[in-house]
Structure 1
Amino acid sequence: MSDAGSADLPGLRHGAALRSAIAESAPAALIVSDESGRIVEFNPAAEAMFQQPRSRAIGRRIAALVMPARHHALHEQAMARLRAGESSQQLGQMHLHGLRADGSELPIEMLMWRTDLNGRAYYTASLVDMTEVHNATQEIERQREALRQSEKLTAMGSLLAGVAHELNNPLAIVMGRASLLEEKCDRDPELRAEAQRIRQAAERCGRIVRTFLNMARSKPSQRGPVSLNEMVRAAADMLQYGYRTHNISQELDLGEGLPPVVADSDEIGQVVMNLLINAQQAVASREGPRRVRVQSGVEPRRDNREPRVWLRVEDNGPGVSAAVRQHVFEPFFTTKPDGLGTGLGLAMSRSLVRAHGGDLMLEAGSSLGGASFRLSLPISGIAEPDGPAPALPSPAASQLVRVLVVDDEPELSELMREMLESAGYDVATAESGAVALEMLDLARFDVIVCDLRMPDMDGATLWREVCARHPGLSRSLLFVTGDTLSADASGFLKLTGCDSLDKPFSKTDLLTKVATLLSAS
């Protein structure tokens, strides 16, 4: 017997050493406690997870050492059930938070079981760090929320397209009639000034509607000469009500004669809008005077670098702390309360600006005492010097130009008729596409000015009929529309190669488009 027992001793020692080695190298944190709840084993993975050395953990209560106080009761309930004989399968896996030595928390998954040895009970907790899983779950939720927001914007874009069409018709009438009234009031400066104010208010409404459409529509990047100052004025118009109701002084100090830059107006317009909204939110809760100043100018050429147009937006809000400055352009970073920010605005703005070869930066200080953001964009091409407005071309006396105006809005078609007749054109009007086709069969017309969206027969259908019946006029159509940004409208215009005129429009806009169309034919 003694020989057999002696022979088994190396095997027992080997088994104990193996079990110890397994615990030492286990990737999961293993914490073993005795019946009183005090720790008797704390493996290296546990030391790394909770930043606690084994020597400090041994003899301490597991809950007090590695769990926040709010989870102590849950742990004691699990221990009591194990003491009562329940199995680990009955307890299941628990999801809670662990506590590191520095007081920070981490999400963990815990499984507990009971082991009886030499008449004594021991309780083992296997813990897995769930931080990566937790972060991945949060990222998926952020992406789902971004998708929901994208779907909302798509729906809003469709809604705004319809609203814009309905608003732009009366706006075009108001603006056009005010313009004609200005011309008739040359001898009465006061009345002329009143008409001018009406026209300017209608133009402002038109810019606001167009800005909404630019923000809501998602379309491929289209770059061309744009005015940074005009973008600022459009954004300022749109936000004027919010600034006024929050008693915020909006100061525009824009440099004169800024050359245009080659850029996507929608993308840079979104950047300008975002900077103005951020400034508004920064000063909204400030006691006393609230100020936002917008400045623009041109950087001088240096180091053979192309001159740049710059824009500065500064406020007298609380500013940006040193700890936050290095994170302001990081995605999903925000210091705003819930519901006021996603942490994407500045990150996307800088990305859009850099895609244009420029930069967006947070300046070291502000003359107003708050935050100051500076945007710079390179100039591509040379700006034409400002000069007197070119004279509008009129039809030659030897050839009377006939224009057919097609619009289901009688007031709008009458307005266009008066504008064109004042420039010497012979004008006829049709209230529908069907009537227009009948008139084209009976008389000669050089240009057709047609609303794109009409009941029964829209502008697209009329164009196809004109191509079939009067192919010589297929490129002599000017389409008037309140939503050239929609996919259907832009796709149709690209297919036909015809020009378009956005509502609301001025008399100068209409006459210039018609003259350009005639010169190309």
Structure 2
Amino acid sequence: MVMSSKILLIEDEARLRQNLQLLLTSEGYTVITASNGYEGIQRLQQEQFDLVITDIMMEEGNGFEVMEYLSTHAPDTLTIVITGYASTDSAIEALRKGAYDYLAKPFDIDMMKISIERALEKVQLRRQVQTYMQELEQRVADRTRELEEMNKKLNASLADLQAAQEQLIQSEKLSALGELISGVAHELNNPLTSVLGYAELLSHSEACPPEARTMLEKISQEAMRCHQIVKNLLSFARKQKPEKKYIDMNALCRKTLDLLAYQLRVNNITVVTQLAEGLPKTMADQHQLQQVLVNLLTNAYQAMADYRGEGKLTVATAYDEDKIYIRVTDNGPGIPPQSLRRIFDPFYTTKEKGTGLGLSLSYGIVQEHGGEIGVVSQLGQGTTFTVALPIIAEPVPEQEAPSRSTPTSLPAQKILVVDDEETILDLVTDILHTLGHQVETASSGREALQKMDSQQYDLIICDIKMPEVDGRQIYQFLKDKHPSLLNRLIFSSGDTASEESQEFLKETGCLFLQKPYLLEEFTQVLHQACLRTEEEVQQP
């Protein structure tokens, strides 16, 4: 027996209604009565019941009307019908309308109890199933949320992996590009050394007419410009650290705009500057950052000129407690989203004649300065590149100790020059002869070893990178057999002191000439080597 169930009893015969109420109440049920179908429907509108027991034939609202109401408004409530007009047709009609059971008057009380118990058991079972289904649905919903969250995390992890893969690919590209640039720069620095050296030698010659001297100065300036480009490339390839000093970024922006003034003017570009007052200085390589600005400004005005034949270019600076910001904004065509993802990749370009190196070089330079470069763009509206650089406070300068005076001339020295480039040997020989020194040359490391083993030299000028026997092997040879010459060994190289070379020079303490070098730099290193020799002689 299902206890504590609530039953609605609808019966128009008062005595039968009262007797059934007493009987069912004694069985532990809560029984509410109604004297006709309409009153029963009113009860159903006010309360919920587990079971409805209704007579069929009643003057005001019959049992069929009650069942129709239940089928619409309380379909889960079971119905047992009772009637004194038993017939097969009425039984079929009652069952068709959804009755759980049909009892004919006079009915057996025990049979009625059994029918009620089974009906209520069915109600209870149905509710248990509903509860289970609700719990199951909730579990499914919870699990679905968990799977959705997991899917989001997996998608995020996949995105991170893809980003890491793209970064690794870009890093590998940069590494390969760096090796290529390093080799090219090394080859360029050797002829640049000859161009600069001979231009200076000729310009210092008494026989050089003034007009030729002017042209030679232009040759030197352009050669130094090429050298600076090579240095920028090497810095991007991480073969050389930038030459940093404290600079004014506002002044650098103005200088760069002046440099590009002609190109901006002929392409109908209106320039707007919004340079922050009181912008702090920071430590940076002026030439490298100017190259970044040139790349950004050039890309901007070219994009606007191609897009609409004119444009507005805005250069702005700003700062906060930690960083300086330089923003270059154009109103050009904008950059497609698929291109934005690769905009800093080496060799990636959307221009027909572009190399794809400008922005990747700029990215490397800004990274080398501990900064960041970013871009936002909207198609048809324009593009903004932002360079963020850390503010590095300028230290209070310390009072410099008086330096030893550099002698204006050197006593004649016997010098061995070692280099696998014939033009470098000829240039250094001419310079040293001009300075009054005796010179011997060796075009390979092996030849140099033979000469050092058979003759004595005051100074040795030696290239680091050479085939077969290089500068490191020559150093080891001198360390083993002629250690007194180590302090008089000057190394030179066209790869501008790669990290490997820098470590080698740091370990050995040898003097270094970076190709290409000016005559003044060359003579200063010679003086330093001679000072080392003098200190050796003066030591007891």
TM-score tier (shorter): 0.5 to 0.7
Match of 2:137 among 6, 10, 23: 23
Match of 1:463 among 475, 479, 496: 475
> For residue 121 of structure 1, what is the aligned residue in structure 2?
none
1:284 matches 2:302: yes
Code of the aligned partner of 1:340: I
Code of the aligned partner of 1:145: E
> For residue 393 of structure 2, what is the aligned residue in structure 1?
378
Q: Deviations over 1:9-67 (max 9, x none)?
A: 3132122122113324644598xxxxxxxxxxxxxx7xxx9xxxxxxxxxxxxxxxxxx
Q: Tell me: CA distance 1:403–1:188, structure 2 relative to 1, closer, same or farther (3 Å).
A: same
Code of the aligned partner of 1:425: H
Structure 2: how far apart are the matches of 1:141 and 1:190? 61
> For residue 11 of structure 1, what is the aligned residue in structure 2?
125
Q: State the Cα distance separating 1:226 from its structure 2 match.
A: 2.9
Q: Deviations over 1:173-216 (max 9, x none)?
A: 11111111111266522111111111111111111111111101
Match of 2:435 among 423, 439, 442: 423
Q: Tell me: CA distance 1:481–1:346, structure 2 relative to 1, closer, same or farther (3 Å).
A: closer
Structure 1: how far apart are the matches of 2:519 and 2:223? 14
Q: Deviations over 1:64-106 (max 9, x none)?
A: xxxxxxxxxxxxxxxxxxxxxxxxxxxxxxxxxxxxxxxxxxx
Matches for 1:43-442 after TM superposition, within 5 Å: 130-184=151-205, 188-217=209-238, 226=245, 228=247, 263=283, 265=285, 273-286=291-304, 287-288=308-309, 317-318=330-331, 337=340, 339-341=342-344, 377-382=392-397, 393-396=407-410, 399-442=411-454
Q: Size of the alignment, in residue pairs?
A: 377
Code of the aligned partner of 1:135: A
Deviates more, 1:333-342 or 1:416-425: 333-342
Code of the aligned partner of 1:318: N
Matches for 1:479-490 after TM superposition, within 5 Å: 479-490=491-502
Structure 2: how far apart are the matches of 1:178 and 1:275? 31
Q: Tell me: CA distance 1:485–1:264, structure 2 relative to 1, closer, same or farther (3 Å).
A: farther
Structure 1: how far apart are the matches of 2:529 and 2:185? 26
Q: State the Cα distance separating 1:473 from its structure 2 match.
A: 1.1
Q: SS state of the match for residue 285, structure 1? A: helix
Q: Deviations over 1:333-373 (max 9, x none)?
A: 989645435799999988876x69xx9999xxxxxx99887
Structure 2: how far apart are the matches of 1:269 and 1:188? 33
Structure 2: how far apart are the matches of 1:410 and 1:467? 27
Structure 2: how far apart are the matches of 1:151 and 1:202? 31
Q: SS state of the match for residue 487, structure 2? A: coil
| Aligned partners of 2:312 and 2:331 also within 8 Å | no
Code of the aligned partner of 2:525: K
| Aligned partners of 1:392 and 1:508 also within 8 Å | no
1:513 matches 2:525: yes
Q: SS state of the match for residue 303, structure 2? A: coil
Q: State the Cα distance separating 1:232 from its structure 2 match.
A: 6.5
Structure 1: how far apart are the matches of 2:443 and 2:196? 21
Structure 1: how far apart are the matches of 2:270 and 2:129? 79
Q: State the Cα distance separating 1:517 from its structure 2 match.
A: 2.3
Q: State the Cα distance separating 1:151 from its structure 2 match.
A: 0.7
Structure 2: how far apart are the matches of 1:383 and 1:370? 41
| Aligned partners of 1:403 and 1:447 also within 8 Å | yes
Rg: which structure is higher? Answer: 2
Q: Tell me: CA distance 1:189–1:272, structure 2 relative to 1, closer, same or farther (3 Å).
A: closer
Q: State the Cα distance separating 1:166 from its structure 2 match.
A: 1.5
Code of the aligned partner of 1:283: Y
Q: State the Cα distance separating 1:468 from its structure 2 match.
A: 1.1
| Aligned partners of 1:406 and 1:430 also within 8 Å | yes
Structure 1: how far apart are the matches of 2:216 and 2:287? 30
CA RMSD of aligned residues (A): 5.1
Q: Please, which runs of 5 or more residues in structure 1 have no aligned partner?
A: 31-44, 50-108, 110-126, 254-260, 300-304, 322-332, 363-368
Q: Deviations over 1:456-510 (max 9, x none)?
A: 2111111111111110111321111111443432232222121222211111111
Q: State the Cα distance separating 1:229 from its structure 2 match.
A: 8.0
Q: Tell me: CA distance 1:179–1:289, structure 2 relative to 1, closer, same or farther (3 Å).
A: farther
In proportion to residue count, which structure has more helix? 2
Structure 2: how far apart are the matches of 1:339 and 1:361? 12
Q: SS state of the match for residue 516, structure 1? A: helix
Q: State the Cα distance separating 1:263 from its structure 2 match.
A: 4.7
1:445 matches 2:457: yes
Q: SS state of the match for residue 480, structure 1? A: strand
| Aligned partners of 1:394 and 1:424 also within 8 Å | no
Q: State the Cα distance separating 1:423 from its structure 2 match.
A: 2.4
Q: Tell me: CA distance 1:384–1:215, structure 2 relative to 1, closer, same or farther (3 Å).
A: farther
Q: Tell me: CA distance 1:185–1:345, structure 2 relative to 1, closer, same or farther (3 Å).
A: closer
Match of 2:509 among 492, 497, 505: 497
| Aligned partners of 1:404 and 1:430 also within 8 Å | yes
Code of the aligned partner of 2:120: S
Q: State the Cα distance separating 1:450 from its structure 2 match.
A: 0.5
Provide the TM-score with structure 1 as the length reference. Answer: 0.58
Q: SS state of the match for residue 416, structure 2? A: strand
Structure 1: how far apart are the matches of 2:289 and 2:131? 65
Structure 2: how far apart are the matches of 1:314 and 1:383? 37
Structure 2: how far apart are the matches of 1:383 and 1:488? 32
Structure 2: how far apart are the matches of 1:412 and 1:382? 39
Structure 1: how far apart are the matches of 2:467 and 2:309? 54
Q: Tell me: CA distance 1:482–1:372, structure 2 relative to 1, closer, same or farther (3 Å).
A: same
| Aligned partners of 1:393 and 1:512 also within 8 Å | no
Code of the aligned partner of 1:13: R
Q: State the Cα distance separating 1:320 from its structure 2 match.
A: 13
Q: SS state of the match for residue 479, structure 1? A: strand
Match of 1:477 among 471, 489, 497: 489
Structure 2: how far apart are the matches of 1:249 and 1:384? 48
Structure 2: how far apart are the matches of 1:271 and 1:455? 36
Q: Tell me: CA distance 1:374–1:215, structure 2 relative to 1, closer, same or farther (3 Å).
A: closer
Structure 2: how far apart are the matches of 1:341 and 1:226? 26
Q: Percent identity?
A: 25
Q: Please, which runs of 5 or more residues in structure 2 have no aligned partner?
A: 1-113, 274-280, 346-358, 376-382, 534-540
